Amino acid sequence: MSRFKIERTPLDGLLLVQRTLLRDERGFFARMFCARDLAEAGWAVSLAQVNHSRTTVRGCARGLHFQRPPHGEHKLVSCLRGAVLDVAVDVRIGSPTYLQWHGALLTADNGHALLVPPGFAHGFQALEDDVEMLYCNSAAHVADAEDGLNPLDADLAIAWPLPVVSMSPRDAGRALVAHGFSGVRL
């Protein structure tokens, strides 16, 4: 029996994973990753890297990051503490949803995760102070393949729920789509 319910999003390949939370008076237990169960959702690769981040300030935006081919990766993104709007942007050239975005509310309590396939940029906005995120990645990070989009790019029109109060200089300095973004071919 799978502990995951998989839901499609409006962006082909981007999936919302709902974990079954086994609750009792002590709290809950949740399976964070299961290769067998996620294979049905398209995760047919190994788990290569697990990352953990903490964002201390409500309103902070992180991302939108992706790895250029041939170093694309699947990411299973979960919120361990607090709440975020988790966003993925389709950067696949030729996709009918090219440069469209989808957001999902991930919280420490709702058991949801976003399964982000290669060809999508990923980022989030912290909706509370002291948010912690867990990323299960199918490939190790390759610095030379790293790329991204500016989270405040008006052409993307991401509806961040809060004013963006901070982001890294690298994310703020990302080129805008109108200034030559080339997307990816998978």
Catalytically active residues are 65, 135
The gap from C-alpha 10 to its chain's centroid, in whole angstroms, comes to: 15
Decide the pairing of beta strands 27-29 and 22-24.
antiparallel
Structure tokens at 9: 């999003």
Residues 6+ apart with CB under 8 A from 101: 11, 87, 88, 89, 90, 156, 157, 158
Sheet (strand 75-81) strand order:
4-8, 15-19, 112-116, 75-81, 131-137, 49-55
